[in-house]
A and B are shown apart, each in its own frame.
Chain A
Amino acid sequence: MKKRFSPALAGIVAALVLVPGLAIAEESGHHEIPRQPWSFSGFTGQFDKAQLQRGFQVYKEVCSNCHGLKRIAFRNLVQPGGPQFPEAAVKALAAEWPNKITDGPNDQGKMFERPARLSDPILGPYKNDEEARAAQNGALPPDLSLMARARDVERESPWYIHPFLMLGDILKGYQEGGADYIYALMTGFKDPPAGFHMVDGKFYNTAFPGHQISMPPPLSDGAVPYQDGTPQKLDNYAHDVAAFLSWAADPSLDQRKRIGWQVILYLIVTTGLLYIGKRRIWSAIKH
Chain B
Amino acid sequence: MSGHTSTYEPTSRWGKWFDERLPIARVMHGQFVDFPTPRNLNYLWTFGGILTFILGAQIITGVVLAMHYQPSAAGAFDSIEQIRRDVNYGWMIRNFHAVGASMFFFAVYIHIFRGLYYGSYKAPREVLWILGVIIMLLMMATAFMGYSLPWGQMSFWGVTVITNLFSALDTIINGLGTAIVEWLWGGYSVSGTTLNRFFSLHYLLPFVLAGVVGLHLWALHTAGQNNPTGLDLKEPSDSVPMHPYATSKDAVGLFAFLILFAWFVFFVPDYLGHADNYIEANPLVTPPHIVPEWYFLPFYAILRSFTSTFLWVIPLGQYAKLCGVLAMFSAVLIIAFVPWLDTSRVRSSKYRPIFKWFFWFFVFTCLALGYLGSMPAEGVYVMWAQIFTVCYFLFFLVAMPIIGLIETPKKLPRSITDSVLGGSTAMPNGAAASPEKR
Contact = CB atoms under 8 A, between A and B. Distances in A.
Interface of A: 1-2, 5-6, 9, 12-13, 16, 20, 23-24, 27, 43, 71, 76, 145-146, 149-152, 159, 162, 169-170, 173-175, 177-178, 209, 249, 251-252, 256-257, 259-261, 263-264, 267-268, 270-271, 274-275, 277-278, 281-282, 285-287
Given A264-B262, A278-B252, A285-B240, A209 B270 contact: no
Contact of B249 (A249, A268, A278): A278
Interface size class for chain B?
35 or more
Contacts of B278: 146, 149-150, 249
A287 B271 contact: no
Kindly name the residue among A145, A177, A263 whose own CB sees the greatest number of chain B CB atoms within 10 A. A263
A169 B271 contact: yes
Interface string B265-297: 111111100111011000000001000000000
A43 B267 contact: yes
A37 B275 CA distance: 20
Given A150-B275, A278-B249, A286-B421, 6 more contacts: A24-B380, A175-B271, A256-B266, A260-B262, A260-B267, A267-B258
25 contacts: A1-B407, A5-B353, A12-B361, A20-B380, A24-B380, A43-B263, A146-B279, A150-B275, A152-B274, A174-B268, A175-B267, A175-B268, A249-B278, A256-B95, A257-B266, A259-B266, A260-B262, A263-B262, A264-B266, A274-B248, A274-B251, A274-B252, A281-B245, A285-B39, A287-B420
B92 A267 contact: no
Nearest to A181: B275
A71 B361 CA distance: 49
A70 to B, nearest CB: 10
Majority secondary structure of chain A interface residues (helix, strand, loop or mixed): helix
Contacts, number: 126
Contact of A162 (B39, B245, B268, B371): B371
B407 A27 contact: no
A214 to B, nearest CB: 15
Contacts of B377: none
A281 to B, nearest CB: 5
B266 A9 contact: no
B44 interface: no
A221 to B, nearest CB: 30
B354 A71 contact: no
Nearest to B259: A267
Contacts of B256: 271
B255 interface: yes
